[in-house]
């Protein structure tokens, strides 16, 4: 039967409401989970906004410097910095046939006299007909570039375009243009860093959200480690930006560009952004460290101290947690490294100089494609102990390791690695994480078959039906009785062992009792004697002759139709007296007699009560008329008589035969 559109919408709405309810319950599980969620949102919004501001600043600097460099005709080649020397190379350095020229070597500081090299030293043979000589003072008009430019920033911190409001055009030397070209490449790399770190902050927020939703310790640990890396890189960014500012103001501006400043107060704004990012990243790291520790204690009770986890399972789970943290972190960092390299090769100044660029792109695109299955297989196969999937995971890991190692044979890759500190850091981190993750995966494979997959499956099944687990504090192996003291928070003292004698008394079987027991004429029972069975039938023991069968049957027939009268009267305590073995036993308060067809039974008993009472039971063929006020209830043949046990002997009761 097809489901209507309205029913599907209702199901979707119900599922969405259930998910929102589950999310609300997970977020408000404790005050620490709620605070962690709020801090995660604030950190993501604030840090991402600051990285966007930093990206805008870097983009404006790149745009303005690019406009300066593009107006020059002497920018063919690659500008690199070797120590304090700016060089212009015709191709990738250290490749056969590549010519690199020293454009300018910076010496001294801003206060010292400008020193500029008048000659160039070629590091190879260059076949171009263009004049690579450095312009002198007499030939400035012939070799200098005429560029219309203005400072990037003003004193009040606002940005302007590269157009002078007054004054004539500025003539820039080749050394200044090539130095600005190198600076433009560095700031363009800073743009890529801003994009990667911005996406990294968003990824950390997603991990934090998943950590709360799934109560996942691996996601919690990955988020904390990610904030640690982000804080470390923000600190390095301040150091590198300040060093770049000093190099520009002390070397490039006075020596290469004749004191002309193209950046203005952009550096102060950029360093201010970097310092603010360091402060906020540090505060976020401290807050997340505290909250992650609190959440770890909450989630650990549901993971480590759940009933049924053996010490072996506990060790395996710790290994899987570390593996999961490194797996997720390795996935993002590897993707970031690959994306930065592709963007550098495709859109950078190396796009026209890269040999076998299509091969490199194919290898890195394949890395991007295989990274997602690698993450999924690594997460699933270790927890479910899937042998085939783990084999595929190992093959993909080997392929990724092979690509990472093979890329270092490329001159282009090594050049980018040596000139870009952030890319080098990300690449090394990704390679180390990939190696460690693969190694931990192999160690986890050795633990297959120890019941870890069954343990995870049972826990997930119990959580799926909203099962409330029972938690006990994990105790070290030892005495079980001593470990129970931690459950109730009671310190149990060590009691001495005393040997006490045990006198075992076995019950006496019924058939082993005496047959001829003296009968008492009193209504009291002997506690040490055999229980007395009161019967309405004639006696068949040795105290009276055996009745004849016809008369006995007639008696039973009359007894079945006769009522039973009960009455309670106060009596007094008397001592029992023994009578000889006769056919009738009389006492002051009780009499047992047999009158043939018309028999009656009277029995009195006084229990040990503050006010003794007597129970009289009589059986006769002609029941006297009694009233309800006397406490007598008529007897019916269709209804069984009420069973009354004597207080001093619970086994004695009125029995109808």
Quote the pLDDT of residue 338: 85
Q: Which two tokens stand for residue 610?
A: 């503050």
Quote the pLDDT of residue 167: 34
Mean pLDDT score, 637-648: 49
pLDDT for 187 beyond 50: yes
Tell me how far apart the alpha carbons of residues 73 and 558 are, in angstroms, rounded to a whole number.
139
pLDDT for 471 beyond 90: no
At 601 the three-state DSSP class reads strand
Quote the pLDDT of residue 53: 92
Residue 452 shares a structural domain with residue 536:
no
pLDDT for 228 beyond 80: yes
Q: Which of 470, 499, 527 is the last residue of a domain?
A: 470
Tell me how far apart the alpha carbons of residues 379 and 175 are, in angstroms, rounded to a whole number.
54
Q: pTM value?
A: 0.60
Angle between helices 266-303 and 217-247 (to 10 degrees): 160
pLDDT, tens only, 403-462: 888 888 888 888 888 888 888 989 999 999 999 999 988 888 887 877 777 766 666 565
Tell me how far apart the alpha carbons of residues 361 and 348 are, in angstroms, rounded to a whole number.
14
At 101 the three-state DSSP class reads strand
409 touches 360 (CB < 8 A): no
233 touches 422 (CB < 8 A): yes
126 touches 88 (CB < 8 A): no
Tell me how far apart the alpha carbons of residues 606 and 512 are, in angstroms, rounded to a whole number.
29
Listed ranges 102-106, 484-488, 564-568, 620-624; the one with the highest mean pLDDT: 102-106
CA distances in angstroms from 488 to 305, 306, 462, 484, 509, listed in the order given: 16, 17, 26, 7, 45
State how beta strands 645-646 and 649-653 pair.
Answer: antiparallel
238 touches 275 (CB < 8 A): yes
pLDDT band at 5 (very low <50, low <70, confident <90, very high): low
Residue 462 shares a structural domain with residue 375:
yes
Question: Average pLDDT over the chain, rounded to whole?
Answer: 68
Residue 458 shares a structural domain with residue 578:
no
pLDDT for 169 beyond 90: no
pLDDT, tens only, 263-317: 888 888 889 989 999 999 999 999 999 999 988 888 877 665 554 567 777 778 7
Residue 633 shares a structural domain with residue 540:
yes
Question: Among 333-342, 398-407, 635-644, where is mean pLDDT lowest?
Answer: 635-644
Tell me how far apart the alpha carbons of residues 496 and 482 are, in angstroms, rounded to a whole number.
15
Q: Is residue 33 part of a domain?
A: no
Q: Is residue 562 part of a domain?
A: yes
Output the CA angle 42-47-48, nearest 5 degrees: 100
Mean pLDDT score, 356-382: 82
Question: Among 17-31, 165-179, 209-223, where is mean pLDDT lowest?
Answer: 165-179
Quote the pLDDT of residue 265: 84
Question: Among 48-52, 308-312, 324-328, 622-626, where is mean pLDDT lowest?
Answer: 622-626
Place of tokens 């690959």: 338
Question: Among 12-16, 20-24, 154-158, 494-498, where is mean pLDDT lowest?
Answer: 154-158
Question: Among 205-214, 474-483, 520-529, 547-556, where is mean pLDDT lowest?
Answer: 474-483
Tell me how far apart the alpha carbons of residues 564 and 422 are, in angstroms, rounded to a whole number.
107
Tell me how far apart the alpha carbons of residues 504 and 162 are, in angstroms, rounded to a whole number.
109
Quote the pLDDT of residue 527: 59
pLDDT for 348 beyond 90: no
Place of tokens 């290994």: 319
Q: Which two tokens stand for residue 206?
A: 């997603």
Residue 319 shares a structural domain with residue 452:
yes
Q: Which two tokens stand for residue 377?
A: 């297989």
Computed on alpha carbons and rounded to an integer, the radius of gyration of the chain in Å comes to 50
**Residue whose C-alpha is closest to residue 151's, from 137, 135, 167:** 167
Quote the pLDDT of residue 38: 92
CA quadruple 68, 70, 72, 77: dihedral sign: positive
Tell me how far apart the alpha carbons of residues 146 and 205 are, in angstroms, rounded to a whole number.
49
Q: What are the phi and psi torsion angles at 94 (to 5°)?
A: 65, 10
Residue 337 shares a structural domain with residue 427:
yes
> 518 versus 414: which is more confidently predicted?
414
Tell me how far apart the alpha carbons of residues 109 and 111 are, in angstroms, rounded to a whole number.
6
Listed ranges 199-203, 209-213, 634-638; the one with the highest mean pLDDT: 199-203
Dihedral, 280, 284, 287, 292 alpha carbons, nearest 10: -170
Q: What are the phi and psi torsion angles at 616 (to 5°)?
A: -110, 125
Which ranges constitute the DSSP H helices of 304-446? 311-347, 357-384, 387-407, 411-419, 421-446
Tell me how far apart the alpha carbons of residues 521 and 574 are, in angstroms, rounded to a whole number.
11
> 356 versus 423: which is more confidently predicted?
423
HEC states along 392-406? HHHHHHHHHHHHHHH
Q: Which of 450, 470, 490 is the last residue of a domain?
A: 470
State how beta strands 600-601 and 591-593 pair.
Answer: antiparallel
Q: Is residue 231 part of a domain?
A: no
Tell me how far apart the alpha carbons of residues 280 and 47 are, in angstroms, rounded to a whole number.
7
State how beta strands 645-646 and 614-619 pair.
Answer: unpaired
Output the CA angle 522-527-531, nearest 5 degrees: 80
pLDDT for 40 beyond 80: yes
Mean pLDDT score, 504-518: 56
Q: Is residue 593 part of a domain?
A: yes
pLDDT band at 175 (very low <50, low <70, confident <90, very high): confident
Provide the number of structural domains found in the chain: 2
Tell me how far apart the alpha carbons of residues 572 and 559 are, in angstroms, rounded to a whole number.
31
Mean pLDDT score, 230-258: 87
User: Could you list the residue range(s) of the whole structural domain that residue 398 is in?
Assistant: 309-470
Q: Is residue 47 part of a domain?
A: no
Tell me how far apart the alpha carbons of residues 657 and 654 are, in angstroms, rounded to a whole number.
10
User: How many residues belong to the chain?
Assistant: 657
Quote the pLDDT of residue 285: 93
pLDDT for 41 beyond 90: yes
Residue 585 shares a structural domain with residue 461:
no
> 573 versus 66: which is more confidently predicted?
66
List all residues 6 or more positions away from 362 whose beta carbon is below 8 Å from its beta carbon: none
Tell me how far apart the alpha carbons of residues 552 and 557 are, in angstroms, rounded to a whole number.
9
pLDDT for 238 beyond 70: yes
pLDDT band at 147 (very low <50, low <70, confident <90, very high): very low
Q: Is residue 545 part of a domain?
A: yes
Mean pLDDT score, 64-75: 76
Which uninterrupted H or E stretch holds 207? helix 174-214
Q: Is residue 507 part of a domain?
A: no
Quote the pLDDT of residue 480: 45
Residue 524 shares a structural domain with residue 417:
no
pLDDT band at 322 (very low <50, low <70, confident <90, very high): confident
Residue 377 shares a structural domain with residue 444:
yes
Residue 412 shares a structural domain with residue 534:
no
Question: Among 12-26, 172-186, 288-302, 574-588, where is mean pLDDT lowest?
Answer: 574-588
Residue 462 shares a structural domain with residue 353:
yes
Q: Which two tokens stand for residue 351?
A: 């796009």
Looking at the chain, the number of H-run helices and the number of E-run strands are 15, 12
Residue 528 shares a structural domain with residue 640:
yes
Could you give the percent of the chain with pLDDT greater than 70?
53
Q: Which of 444, 470, 496 is the last residue of a domain?
A: 470
Q: Is residue 201 part of a domain?
A: no
Tell me how far apart the alpha carbons of residues 575 and 577 are, in angstroms, rounded to a whole number.
7
DSSP string, 121-160: -BSS-----S--PPP-GGGHHHHSEEE----SB-TTS-B-
Q: What are the phi and psi torsion angles at 519 (to 5°)?
A: -95, 140
Mean pLDDT score, 344-361: 74
Quote the pLDDT of residue 46: 93
Question: Among 88-102, 246-260, 434-448, 530-544, where is mean pLDDT lowest?
Answer: 530-544
């Amino acid at each position: 039967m097809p489901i209507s559109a309205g029913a599907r919408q209702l199901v979707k709405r119900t599922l969405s409401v259930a998910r929102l309810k589950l999310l609300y319950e997970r977020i408000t599980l404790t005050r620490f989970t709620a605070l962690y969620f709020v801090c995660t949102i604030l950190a993501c919004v604030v840090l991402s906004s600051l990285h966007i501001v930093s990206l805008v600043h870097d983009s404006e600097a790149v745009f303005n410097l690019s406009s300066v460099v593009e107006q020059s005709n002497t920018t063919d080649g690659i500008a690199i910095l070797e120590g304090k020397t700016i060089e212009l190379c015709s191709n990738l350095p250290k490749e056969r046939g590549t010519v690199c020229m020293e454009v300018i070597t910076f010496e001294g500081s801003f206060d010292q006299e400008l020193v500029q090299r008048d000659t160039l030293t070629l590091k190879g043979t260059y076949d171009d007909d263009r004049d690579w000589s450095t312009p002198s003072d007499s030939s400035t008009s012939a070799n200098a570039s005429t560029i219309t430019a203005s400072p990037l920033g003003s004193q009040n911190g606002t940005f302007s375009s590269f157009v002078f409001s007054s004054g004539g055009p500025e003539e820039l030397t080749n050394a200044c243009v090539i130095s600005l070209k190198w600076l433009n490449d560095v700031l363009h790399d800073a743009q890529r860093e801003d994009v990667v770190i911005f996406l990294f902050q968003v990824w950390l927020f997603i991990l934090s959200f998943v950590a709360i939703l799934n109560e996942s310790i691996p996601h919690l640990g990955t988020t904390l480690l990610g904030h640690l890396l982000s804080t470390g890189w923000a600190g390095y960014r301040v150091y590198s930006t300040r060093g770049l500012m000093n190099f520009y103001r002390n070397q490039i501006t006075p020596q290469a560009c004749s004191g002309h400043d193209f950046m203005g107060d952009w550096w102060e704004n950029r360093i201010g952004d970097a310092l603010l990012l360091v402060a906020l990243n540090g505060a976020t790291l401290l807050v997340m460290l505290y909250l992650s520790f609190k959440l770890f204690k909450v989630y650990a009770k549901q993971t480590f101290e759940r009933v049924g986890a053996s010490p072996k399972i506990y060790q395996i789970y710790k290994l899987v947690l570390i593996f999961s943290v490194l797996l997720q972190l390795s996935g993002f960092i590897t993707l970031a490294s690959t994306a930065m390299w592709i963007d550098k090769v495709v859109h950078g100044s190396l796009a026209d100089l890269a040999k076998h660029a299509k091969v490199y792109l194919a290898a890195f695109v394949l890395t991007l494609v295989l990274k997602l299955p690698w993450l999924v297989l690594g997460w699933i196969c270790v927890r479910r102990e899937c042998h085939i999937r783990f084999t595929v995971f190992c093959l993909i890991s080997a392929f990724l390791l092979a690509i990472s190692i093979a890329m270092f044979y490329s001159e282009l890759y090594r050049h980018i690695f040596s000139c870009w500190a952030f890319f080098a850091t990300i690449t090394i981190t990704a390679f180390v994480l990939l190696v460690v993750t693969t190694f931990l995966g192999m160690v986890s494979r050795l633990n297959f078959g120890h019941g870890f997959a069954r343990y995870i499956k049972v826990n997930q099944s119990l959580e799926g039906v909203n099962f409330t687990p029972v938690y006990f504090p994990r105790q070290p192996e030892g005495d079980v009785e001593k470990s129970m003291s931690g459950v109730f928070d009671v310190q149990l003292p060590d009691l001495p062992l005393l040997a006490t004698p045990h006198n075992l008394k076995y019950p006496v079987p019924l058939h082993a009792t005496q047959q001829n027991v003296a009968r008492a004429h009193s209504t009291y029972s002997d506690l040490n004697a055999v229980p007395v069975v009161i019967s309405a039938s004639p006696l068949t023991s040795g105290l009276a002759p055996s009745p004849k069968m016809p008369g006995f049957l007639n008696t039973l027939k009359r007894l079945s139709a006769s009522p039973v009268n009960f009455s309670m009267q106060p009596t007094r305590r008397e001592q029992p007296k023994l009578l000889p073995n006769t056919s009738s036993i009389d006492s002051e308060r009780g009499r047992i007699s047999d009158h043939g067809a018309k028999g009656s039974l009277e029995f009195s008993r006084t229990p040990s009560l503050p006010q003794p009472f007597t129970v009289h039971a009589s059986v006769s063929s002609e029941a006297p008329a009694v009233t309800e006020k006397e406490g007598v209830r008529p007897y019916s043949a269709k209804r069984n008589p009420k069973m009354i046990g004597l207080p001093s002997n619970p086994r004695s009761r009125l029995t109808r035969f």
